[in-house]
Amino acid sequence: MKIEDLTKEFIQIRHFLHENAELGFKEFKTSAFIKEKLIEYGFSVINVGTSLIASMKKNTSTKKIALRADMDALLIKEKNTFSYSAKGDVMHACGHDGHSASLLMAAKYLAQSNFDGTLILIFQAAEECVDENGLSGAQNLVNSKIYQDLNADFIFGYHNMPSMQMPNNKELFFLKKGVMMAGCLSYECEFIGVGGHSSQPNLCKNPINSLAKFISKINEIKLKNSVLSVVGVSSDSKAYNIISSSASCKISIRILNNDDALILQDSLKQIAKTLQDEDEITIKLNCIENIPATVNCDKAQEFAFNVACEIFGKDKCTQNHEHLMGSEDFSSFLLKTSGAYAFINNSNSANLHTSKYDYNDDILELAAKYYISLVLKYLKP
Ligand SMILES: [Zn+2]
Ligand SMILES: [Zn+2]
C-alpha cells in the first residue's frame, strides 16, 4: 500500500471530525470514532478520560516512540460555508481535526508496516482548556500512571500554522532548538477586606486600595524572558456610598524559561503575604492554569528536522526563526519525555482561533508522512 492511497479517505475523515467538533474534555464522539478505527487497525487502546493512548509492538526492540495529536475544538460559531462546516456553535478553529486525521492516517499505514519496537499514539483531549483542577488534557495524561508506565524514549507532535506566523511563505516546516513556544500562567487574585460606608473609610479595610498597591508592586517584577500583564480588575462595588468588601484582578504571565515560572510564583506569593499583613486583609492567589514553555530536546529536534527535510524538501524547512509567544500544552509531555514540536505551514489561511479558520487538506498527507517517517526511521527493522 502506498501512503498516497490513503489520502482521500483521511481527508473525508478530517471533514467528518470538523463537522462534529467538540469542546475539550467533551470529545465523546470524536474519541469513540478514533478509538474504533485504532482497534480496527490492530492497536491496543486505553482511555484516560476522553484522551486515548494506543500502542502496538512489533518484533523485539525495546525502543519506544510516541506521536501525539490533539482532538478538541473551540467555542466559536463557524462562518465558513463548506459542506462539512461545524454543525453546532463549536468549531475546529485551531485545526486539531487535521492533527487527529493525519495521525490516524499514519496509524493505519504503520499498522501494516514492519517496524521494530513499540509505537505509542496519543489522541489527546483538551489542549485548549483546563479542568476544575487547572490541568489541561496533556497535564492529565502526563500525570496518569498509564502514560508514565509507557516510558517512551521520544515524543513528537506538530501544529498547523497560518503562513503569517511562519518565517516566510516559502517554508512548509519549522522547528527549532530550545524554546518553541512560551509558557502561560493565569491567576485570579482575590482581595477580601471589610466594606462599609464611604464616609467612614477609617472603619473599613478597603480591598481596592490593597489591590492597587498589589498591581503596582507586581508590575515592578522584571524578568528578562517573561511578560506579566494585569488583564482585568473587578469589585463588588455597586454604589458611590459603599466601600466594597472584596475585589479581584486577573493576571496573565508568559514565560520562555520554565525556571522563571517558579520565580514569578514565589514573587507573587511574597508580595501578597506582605500586603496581607500590612493591610490586614485576606489575599487569595488562585492559579487558573500553568502551562510550561514548549522546549525541544536537541537530539529529538535534530532527528525530526532531518526527517522533515526528506519529506518537505530541504529548502522548505527551517530552524531559523523566533519562538512564538503563544502556548501549547505539548510542553507538559516535554517535561517528562524528550521530544520535539514542529509547525507545518497551513498556507495563507485565516488566523487561528477565528470563525473562518480551516485546516488545509493539502498538508494532511505531508503531516502523515512526517509522522510515518519518524517512526520507520527510529524503529527501523
Ligand atoms: Zn488553539
Ligand atoms: Zn491548537
pLDDT in tens, 314-327: 999 999 888 999 99
In a shared domain, residues 110 and 198: no
The domain of 123 spans 3-181+294-378
In a shared domain, residues 116 and 253: no
Last residue of a domain, one of 291, 317, 342: 291
pLDDT at residue number 90:
98
Chain-centre distance for alpha carbon 17: 19
In a shared domain, residues 147 and 227: no
Last residue of a domain, one of 291, 322, 338: 291
When divided into structural domains, the chain yields a total of 2
In a shared domain, residues 197 and 172: no
Across the range 278-293, mean pLDDT stands at: 97
Q: Does position 168 have pLDDT exceeding 80, yes or no?
A: no
Is the torsion defined by CA of 111, 38, 302, 317 positive or negative? Answer: positive
Ligand 1 centroid to residue 251 C-alpha, Å: 20
Cell 520562555 belongs to 256
Cell 536537541 belongs to 298
In a shared domain, residues 311 and 251: no
Q: Does position 113 have pLDDT exceeding 90, yes or no?
A: yes
Ligand 1 centroid to residue 96 C-alpha, Å: 8
Across the range 252-267, mean pLDDT stands at: 94
Global pTM? 0.93
Ligand 2 centroid to residue 220 C-alpha, Å: 32
In a shared domain, residues 300 and 160: yes
In a shared domain, residues 336 and 362: yes
In a shared domain, residues 173 and 200: no
Ligand 1 centroid to residue 128 C-alpha, Å: 6
By residue count, the chain amounts to 381
Ligand 2 centroid to residue 70 C-alpha, Å: 8
